[in-house]
Chains A and B, each alone.
Chain A
Amino acid sequence: MLELRSVSAGYGSFRALFDVSLEVRDGEAVGVIGRNGAGKTTLMRAISGMIPIGGGELRLDDHLLAGLPAHRIVESGIAHVPENRRLFARLSVEENLRMGAYSAKARRRFDVQLAHVYELFPRLKDRRHQQAGTLSGGEQQMCAIGRALMSQPKILLMDEPSAGLAPLVVAQVFDLVRRIRSEGLTVLIVEQNVQQVLDVVDRAYVIEVGAIKLAGTSAELRNNTLVRQAYMGL
C-alpha cells in the first residue's frame, strides 16, 4: 500500500533522513522505533508532505506522492496524527473533527464518519462541545486520532501517540491503537515506547541517525539482541 524507496529529507541544508526504504502492506500495522532525534518525526513529516522530499520515491498504491503539497496527500488517503497531538485548543472537539474532514471528498461523508468516530470514541461525543484544550491528555489523543480518521484515510500515520502521557494513559492509548487496527485500518506508528509498540504492530523498522538499521516482525525484534539492549534496557 505505502512504499518508500530511498527517501531522503531534511530541513534546509540539514539532512535528517538518508535513503530510507520501507513498506506498509494493506491491513498491516507497522512500527518505526528509534531514539529521540533518530529521524522518526522527520520520516512522518516527509510522508505527509509537511516537509519536501529531497530524493527517492514515495507511493500510495499507484499514486506517486513525492512533491505533492500536504493537503493533496491527505486527499489521496494518508492521515497523520502529529507529534504532541496538535489539536486546535480553542476550537470545540466537534470543530476539530470537522477540520479533519475538510477536503471535499471527506466533507460529503462527514455525518457518517462523525457517527463512526463517536461510536469508536464515545467519550468524544460526550465532550463534543467542549474546547479541545480542556480535554485530558488521553482524551486529546482520542480527539487527534478521531480528527485524522475524519479524512477517511487508507493509512493512518501516528507520531509518538504515547509521548507526554502518564503511564496509565499510555496503556489506554495503545488500546486505542488496537481498536483502530481491529477496524481493519492500515497503521504506521512511530514510537519510543518499544515494548508496548511491538505488542500492537505486525512488523517494525529500527531507525538510527536517519537510516533504517534493522527490520523484522515484532517477534523477531523482541528477541533481537541489539533491540533488547539498546531499546528495552534488557
Chain B
Amino acid sequence: MDIYLIEAIINGLLLGGVLALLALGLNLIFGVIDVVWIAYADLVMCGMYAVYWLHVYYGLPIGLACAAAIIFVAILGVLVHILIIAPVLNAAPINQLLATGGLLFFLQSFATLLFGTEFRNLGIRLPIIEIGTIFISYARLLAFGIALVGAMLLYAFLRRTYLGTAIRAISQDREIMGLMGVDQRRIYIITSAIGGGLGGLSACLLALQYDTHPFIGNTFGPLIFMICVLGGLGNMIGGFIAAFIISQIIAIGSYYQSTEWAYVIAFMLFIVMMFIRPRGILGR
C-alpha cells in the first residue's frame, strides 16, 4: 500500500482521539441534562487561551498550566449550567439553543476584545517521530494517547461508581431519579463540571497542535456536532465511533483530494446518513 496513504490513515486515527474526547463531553452533557451546548467548542477555546497565558505569559510549566486549564474550563462549565442552562431547563428546546448559541457569540466576541485576533502559539516544538518512512507528529500521538486514557477513565467512572451509574440512569428516566434518592440538580452540576473538564483536557491537547485564536471553536464546533449526531446524540459509544469514522474520511479525503473536499465528503456522508439512520449509527 502507498506509504503516504498509511501516513494519512494514522494521522486520521490520531486526530480522531481528540474529536472523540470532545464528542464524549458534549454527549455526556446532552445525555444527562438534555440540552445541547452549542458553545462547547468555544469553552475549549477559553481553555486554550488559559493554557497559552499561563504557560507563555506567566511562565507556568506546561503540565501545571494544563492542569489549571482543565480546572478552569470545569468551573466555566458549572457557571454555564448555573447561569445559562438552569434558568431555561424547562423552556422550549429552541430557547435553550438560542441561549447557548448566544453564549457562543459572547465568548468569541469577548475573546476578540481581550486578546485580539492574533494567532497565538505555545511555542512548544515536539519532535516528529520517524518509523521507516512514515512521519508521525509526537504532539498528535501524545494527544491521541491522553485522549484515550481520558475516555477510559470516564468509562470506568460511569461503570464503577454510584455517581456514574446515576449519570447513566438519569438519561434513561429523568423523572424517577428523585425516588432513588438522587438530587438531580447536583448531578447536573457535576456533569457540567465533568463535561467542562473534558473540554479543558481537549483544549490542552489542541493547544499543542494548533494556534489559539478567538474563532478556533468554529473549526471544531460543527465537526463535533456532526460527530455526535452521526453517532446518535447522547450516545457516548456512538459518538466515540463516529469521531474515528469522520476523522478517517477527512484524513483519507485530504490525501486523495484536498482538505476542503474532505470536509465536503464528510458532510455529504453525514446528510446521507441522516436519511438512512436519522437517529444516528447507534441511536435508539
Give chain A's interface residues, CB within 8 Å of chain B.
Answer: 48-50, 69-71, 74-75, 79-80, 82, 86, 88-91, 95, 98-100, 102-103, 106-107, 147-148, 151
0/1 string, B162-178, CB within 8 A of A gives 1: 10011011001101111
Q: What are 15 A-B contacts defined by CB distance under 8 Å?
A: A50-B175, A50-B176, A71-B177, A71-B178, A71-B181, A71-B183, A74-B178, A80-B179, A95-B165, A98-B162, A98-B165, A99-B166, A99-B180, A102-B180, A106-B181
Measured CA separation A94–B175 after assembly (Å)? 20
Which of B165, B168, B179 interacts with A82 by CB under 8 Å?
B179
- Which residues of A have CB within 8 Å of B162? 98, 102, 107
Q: Does B182 contact A (CB under 8 A)?
A: yes
A99 to B181, CA, bound (A): 8
Contacts of B177 in A (CB 8 A): 71
Chain B contacts for A147, CB-based, 8 A: 180
* Contact assessment for A74 and B179 in the assembled complex, using a CB-CB cutoff below 8 Å: yes
B172 partner, pick from A80, A88, A98, beta carbons under 8 A: A88
Q: Are B169 and A69 in contact (CB under 8 A)?
A: no
A86 touches B181 (CB 8 A): no
Residues of B within 8 A of A89 (CB): 172
- CB pair A70–B179 under 8 Å, yes or no, is yes
Q: Which of B156-209 contact A (CB under 8 A)?
A: 162, 165-166, 168-169, 172-173, 175-184
Complex: A22 Cα to B150 Cα, angstroms: 53
- 8 tightest Cβ-Cβ pairs between the two chains A and B: A70-B178, A103-B181, A74-B181, A102-B181, A88-B169, A99-B180, A88-B172, A71-B183
- Binding site secondary structure of chain B: helix
Could you say which of B169, B175, B184 contacts A91, with CB atoms under 8 Å apart? Answer: B169
Per-residue CB proximity of B67-78 to A under 8 Å, as 1/0? 000000000000
Question: B179: which A residues are within 8 A, CB to CB?
Answer: 48, 50, 70, 74, 79-80, 82, 148
Q: Are A100 and B176 within 8 A (Cβ)? A: no
Chain B contributes a number of interface residues (CB within 8 A of A) equal to 17
* Interchain CB contact under 8 A, B178 and A99: no
Query: Knowing A91-B168, A95-B165 touch, does A102 contact B182 (C-beta < 8 A)?
Result: yes
Establish whether residues B168 and A50, one from each chain, have CB atoms under 8 Å apart when the complex forms: no
CA distance A49 to B184 in the complex (A): 13
Say how far A140's CB is from chain B's closest CB, in angstroms: 13
Residues of B at under 8 Å CB distance from A?
162, 165-166, 168-169, 172-173, 175-184
User: Which interface residue of A95, A98, A99 has the most chain B CB atoms within 10 A?
Assistant: A99
Query: Is B176 a contact of A74 with CB atoms below 8 Å?
Result: no
12 other contacts beyond A71-B177, A71-B180, A99-B169, with CB at 8 A cut-off?
A48-B178, A50-B178, A79-B179, A80-B179, A86-B175, A88-B168, A88-B172, A88-B173, A90-B168, A100-B180, A106-B181, A147-B180
Chain A nearest CB from B156 CB (Å) reads 15
**Docked CA distance A149–B248 (Å):** 49
A91 and B173 alpha carbons, distance in the complex (Å): 11
- Identify the interface centre among A71, A74, A91, A151: most chain B CB within 10 Å of its CB: A71
Q: Within 8 Å CB of A106, what residues of B? A: 181
Give bound CA distance, A89 to B179, whole Å.
16
Cross-chain contact A69 with B178 (CB below 8 angstroms): yes
User: A71-B183, A98-B162, A99-B165 in contact; A91/B172 too (CB < 8 A)?
Assistant: yes
Distance between Cα atoms of A80 and B180 in the complex (Å):
9
B185: nearest chain-A partner, CB-CB: A69
* Bound form: Cα–Cα A90–B284 in Å: 11
Is B172 a contact of A90 with CB atoms below 8 Å? Answer: yes
| Bound CA–CA A107/B194 (angstroms) | 23
Q: Which residue of B lies closest to A96 (CB)?
A: B169
Across the interface, which residues of A come within 8 angstroms of B169, CB to CB? Answer: 88, 91, 95, 99
Chain A: CB-nearest residue to B178: A70
Among B175, B176, B180, B182, max chain A CB count under 10 A is at B180
Chain A proximity of B47: nearest CB distance (Å): 32
Q: How far is the CB of B90 from chain A (nearest CB, A)?
A: 12
Residue of B nearest to A110 (CB): B162
How far apart sit A99 and B171, CA to CA, in the bound complex (Å)?
A: 13
**What residue in chain A is nearest B162 (Cβ atoms)?**
A102
Instruction: Kindly state the separation between the CA atoms of A74 and B182 in the bound complex, as whole angstroms.
Output: 9
Q: Which one of A88, A95, A106 has the greatest number of beta carbons of chain B within 10 Å?
A: A88
Q: How far, in angstroms, from A49 to B165 measured CA to CA in the complex? A: 23
Shortest CB distance A80–B (Å): 5
A91 to B166, CA, bound (A): 10
Q: How far is the CA of A106 from the CA of B180 in the complex (A)?
A: 10
Which residue, of B172, B179, B183, has the highest number of chain A Cβ atoms within 10 A? B179
Contact call A75/B181, Cβ cutoff below 8 A = yes
Chain B residues lying within 8 Å of A82, measured Cβ to Cβ, are 176, 179
Measured between alpha carbons, how far is A84 from B165 in the docked complex, in Å? 21
Q: In the bound complex, how far is the Cα of B169 from the Cα of A89, in angstroms? A: 9
